[in-house]
């Protein structure tokens, strides 16, 4: 055990943070099998039950994924469940529609005060800005403006996004090694301005859902600030409480 482990924290919590540190350091990559409970118990010199309890919590938090008879894997955005986990929009009809991301623009800029605050950068530090539309059944339903820390995502460009077969987060994970762990969303109702009205094919002033998200990777580090406008004529933002 490291002597820097927090005091007063139960042993399994300490093992949990050591596992998070290993994930953060990229010791095991998204989708990879992690060592068995027995191997980890030997490595950390604790009981297998303590390792299991740490893994239980990491699985409950969706950082790890247990597969019956196969072992424990680092969770990945490729998991189909990950899609709904981060996009709460569902059709009112209940019929699942294919979603398609249409990247519009990608450019480099300097962080203004808002982006700097959201991404915990200094004003003027480099950022990458992405504009894209999400279509459901061929209809534009979401207009996103996405702000990313410029250093980490220096190589991101429009071609890369157009070529990507998978979701945006899968791209960030596979090309830049950044996995989003959790996000906080602030949802409001706003009137469509001219630009968003045009993209979403509604009249200016129509009610839209404004969804502002900050996504965090390991260690509560913000890695994305996203401002989305959702058309909720045929869709709704679904949320489970309790």
Binding status of residue 88 toward a second copy by CB under 8 A: yes
What track of x and - describes contact with a second copy for positions 155 through 194 (by CB under 8 A)? -------------------------xxxxxxxxxxxx---
SS3 of 83, please?
A: helix
Binding status of residue 62 toward a second copy by CB under 8 A: yes
Q: Which two tokens stand for residue 108?
A: 């480099």
Q: How far is the CB of 191 from a second copy (least distance, A)?
A: 5
Q: Out of 59, 129, 140, 236, point to the residue binding a second copy (CB under 8 A).
A: 236
Compute the Cα dihedral for 224, 227, 229, 234 and give only its sign. Answer: positive
What track of x and - describes contact with a second copy for positions 22 through 61 (by CB under 8 A)? --------------------------------------xx
Count of residues of this chain found to bind a second copy when the rule CB under 8 A is applied? 38
Could you tell me which residues are beta bridge partners of residue 227? 145, 212
Kindly indicate which of the ranges 125-133, 140-148, 153-161, 228-236 contains the residues binding a second copy, using the contact rule CB under 8 A. Answer: 228-236
Contact 189, 208 (CB under 8 A): yes
Q: Out of 209, 223, 224, 226, point to the residue binding a second copy (CB under 8 A).
A: 209
DSSP 96: -
DSSP 218: G
**Nearest-angstrom CA–CA distance, 224 and 220:** 12
């Amino acid at each position: 055990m490291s002597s820097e482990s927090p005091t007063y924290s139960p042993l399994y919590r300490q093992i949990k943070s050591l596992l998070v540190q290993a994930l953060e350091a990229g010791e095991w990559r998204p989708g990879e099998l992690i060592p068995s409970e027995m191997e980890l118990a030997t490595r950390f010199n604790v009981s297998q039950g303590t390792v299991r309890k740490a893994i239980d919590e990491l699985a409950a938090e969706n950082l790890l994924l247990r597969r019956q008879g196969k072992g424990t894997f680092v969770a990945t955005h490729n998991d189909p469940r990950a899609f709904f986990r981060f996009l709460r929009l569902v059709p009112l009809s209940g019929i699942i529609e294919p979603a398609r991301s249409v990247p519009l623009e990608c450019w480099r800029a300097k962080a203004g005060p808002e982006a700097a605050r959201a991404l915990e950068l200094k004003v003027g530090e480099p950022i990458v800005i992405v504009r894209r539309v999400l279509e459901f059944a061929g209809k534009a339903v979401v207009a996103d403006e996405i702000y990313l820390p410029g250093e980490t995502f220096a190589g991101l460009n429009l071609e890369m996004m157009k070529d990507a077969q998978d979701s945006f987060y899968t791209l960030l994970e596979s090309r830049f090694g950044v996995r989003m762990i959790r996000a906080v969303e602030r949802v409001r109702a706003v009137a469509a301005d001219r630009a968003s009205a045009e993209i979403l094919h509604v009249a200016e002033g129509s009610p839209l859902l404004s969804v502002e998200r900050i996504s965090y990777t390991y260690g509560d580090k913000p890695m994305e600030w996203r401002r989305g406008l959702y058309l909720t004529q045929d869709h709704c933002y679904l949320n489970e409480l309790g």
